[in-house]
A and B are shown apart, each in its own frame.
Chain A
Amino acid sequence: MSPRVVETAGARLSRLLAVVPWLSANDGVTISEAARHFGVSDKQLLDDLWLLICTGRPGHLHGDLVDIQFWDEDGSIHVLDAQTIDRPLRLSPDEASALVVALRYLEQLPGLHQRDVLASAITKLESAAGEALAAADGVTVAIESLVPEEIGTAVATAITSNRRLHLSYVAASDVRSERDVDPMRILSLDGRSYLEGWCLSAEAVRTFRLDRIESVIILDTPTAIPDDATGVDVSLGLRPDGPLVTLELQPEAAWIADEYPNESVEDLTDGRVMVTLPVSDERWLTQLLLRMSGTVRIVDRPELSSDVLMAAERALARYEQ
């Protein structure tokens, strides 16, 4: 048996009811365009069209049926008679709330430059959804943003006007750097926002946490992003690169396994946890170990432990002099 996508009749009907109004609103689109829009194969879309033209009012005489012309050589589709499904089905409470909660979430993102567009889209959606939205009332997915408004605005302005940015940036290791970046997008993952851009110092695409940008200047230079520069695939999340380090965490440090992206977590006895995570900057790790004052042990990189020991001794010396 060849593998097939199993689709329920309900899911298919839901698409059929959306296909007809969309084709009516976009007269002359091709079969491939329509298939791509609905995320199905050309064959599936053709099957949908064949099915549609066999349906209609009881009697099924000429004039009772849905009439769609889709056999022109150029592949274009024309809806001649949509019968009573010329408009899309009302939004269900699930659909309306999934979309409106997401829109309200977007409203809170720093650096979204089209706030007026977002506001008008929400107003229109609310009027179109009507009662279906009563359910979404009060569903709040909020962001507590730590990004100063002026940083977000400057970054958004540079993106829309294709201008280079000069950043003063503080990395997680507490090291400040100055760099020029050609901005590409603002990424927001679980409420945390990043600038993604072509970094001229690294000559690579880099992401910068917006709340770690100290200051930003929009330069007069237009952006020059190499054609082959591709953004990160946000569906994979933002994972740091770097050699793996294994840490043994006492119970009071177990939150580290929650907090930082990691490769593996193993529960040990007495609430201790073993975690293996990528460390791109050893200074960051030293800092973390100092902060955790003895509740974290490096399992596999003894030389890093001595860095921590020496740093702590130097610090103590300043208090004892």
Chain B
Amino acid sequence: MSKSDRAERLLNVLFALMASARPMPKSALREVIDAYRESPSEEAFERMFERDKDELRGMGIPIETIEGTDGSGGIEGYRILRDAYALPEVNFTGDELAVLGLAAKVWEQASLGSSAQRALRKLESMGDGSVIDGPVGVEARIATSEVSFPVLLEAIRSRRAVTFTYRKPRAAEGDARNVQPWGVVSRRGHWYLVGHDIDRAEPRVFRLSRIAGTAVAYGSEQAFDIPNGIDVAAMITAATPEDITTALIQIDPGAAVSLRRRALNVSNDVAEISYGDEDAFASELVGYADSVVVLAPESLRATVVARLRQCIAAQARS
């Protein structure tokens, strides 16, 4: 049977089940739908009807099964109530529709993208006729190629746990993690998962690019609650060391601009800058080469000098 015949049949079934509030018995459906009437046997009809019913329900069409009143538990028939079917009355302004259009384009990832597009198509019929005030001037994409991204979103939505292999920065092998996912966060262009690490029994932050292969959801839905009022973006920030030590750095005029921007205070080209991770800060400073000199603290100065020596040794070797 061709696809167009099936779409037509599904649509006619939909109309039949919406035609009255009274449930329609299966036998009546067999009479009014051409393909059902023409099916060679009762069995063939049953199979066809079950498939169609599943397809319609899969699209979100609310087909109700009404049991008979004789107490036998038998099925009297099926119906679709118009109010249960139709999108509630709502009116969007032209500007609101433009913003919805922008949102529908956010997902580069195929399954999320097509869901958002289908939603938009429906909502676009609910415009109030007003015209767009002006261009939105923004184009946003979540274009991550992380294969786990849609899996994690779906797991957060259904509150299912996920399992994945997580690679540590300096190790070839990863270890298995079981996590109740709470949210995903973009920080400086990278994606992170925030959630409750089941084995370690505490909240943890994971970088998506270090998940080897794909995360897999497991176990039942609604398996956990996301704690009320958690701020996943704040959790990422908290997971990075806080700035606790203050350094004095001499910066040549006009140099190390990004560093100077972070200074608490600058006088006579000496900047006060706070940092958390000495190693990370030392490596940043080495990047500025001879345009900065660490004046204090002594340990930071020593780390920078040691790194410069390493650098010279490595380049001389190569």
Contacts and interface: CB of A to CB of B under 8 A. Distances in A.
Given A57-B16, A121-B92, A138-B156, A314 B290 contact: yes
Nearest to A311: B289
A124 interface: yes
Interface in A113-149: 113-114, 117-118, 120-121, 124-125, 127-128, 130, 132, 135-136, 138-144, 146
B223 interface: no
A143 to B, nearest CB: 5
A226 interface: no
Contact of A308 (B6, B188, B315): B315
Contacts of A254: 169
A185 interface: yes
B244 interface: no
A190 interface: yes
Interface residues of A, number: 125
A80 interface: no
Nearest to A9: B6
Give the interface size class of chain B: 35 or more
B153 interface: yes
Given A84-B82, A88-B126, A144 B185 contact: yes
A160 B104 contact: no
Given A90-B85, A106-B106, A114 B286 contact: no
A263 B258 CA distance: 28
A316 B121 contact: no
Most buried by A among B60, B169, B171: B60
A42 interface: no
A139 to B, nearest CB: 5
Contacts of B120: 99
Nearest to A172: B258
Contact of A98 (B6, B115, B304): B115
Contacts of A243: none
B59 A176 contact: no
A52 B14 CA distance: 12
A58 B16 contact: yes
Most buried by A among B89, B96, B313: B96
Interface stretch (B69-77, B136-144, B212-220): B136-144
Interface in A39-77: 47, 51-52, 54-59
B289 A90 contact: no
Most buried by A among B62, B140, B157: B140
B184 interface: yes
A95 B122 contact: yes
Interface in B65-119: 82, 84-93, 95-96, 98-100, 102-104, 106-108, 112-113, 115-116, 118-119
A14 interface: yes
B315 A89 contact: no
A126 to B, nearest CB: 10
Contacts of B26: none
B315 A13 contact: no
Contact of A118 (B12, B85, B99, B261): B99
Main secondary structure of the interface of A (DSSP, over half): helix
Interface in B7-34: 7-8, 10-12, 14-16, 18-19, 32-33
A31 interface: no
B186 A192 contact: yes
A187 interface: yes
26 contacts: A9-B3, A10-B10, A15-B121, A51-B7, A57-B19, A84-B18, A89-B60, A99-B100, A117-B98, A124-B91, A144-B186, A160-B137, A185-B137, A187-B139, A190-B191, A231-B139, A234-B139, A259-B190, A290-B288, A305-B318, A308-B311, A308-B315, A309-B315, A311-B290, A312-B312, A314-B290
Interface of A: 7-10, 12-16, 18, 21-22, 24-25, 37-38, 47, 51-52, 54-59, 83-85, 87-99, 101-103, 105-106, 109, 111-114, 117-118, 120-121, 124-125, 127-128, 130, 132, 135-136, 138-144, 146, 156, 159-160, 170, 174-176, 184-192, 212, 214, 231, 234-235, 237, 251-252, 254-255, 258-259, 271, 286-295, 297-298, 305-306, 308-309, 311-319
Interface of B: 3-4, 6-8, 10-12, 14-16, 18-19, 32-33, 55, 58-62, 82, 84-93, 95-96, 98-100, 102-104, 106-108, 112-113, 115-116, 118-127, 134-144, 153, 156-158, 169-172, 182-191, 209, 226, 232-233, 236-237, 254-258, 261, 283-284, 286-290, 293, 301, 304-305, 307-316, 318
Given A95-B122, A231-B139, 11 more contacts: A14-B59, A21-B125, A25-B127, A51-B11, A58-B32, A97-B115, A99-B119, A105-B106, A128-B87, A186-B137, A290-B287
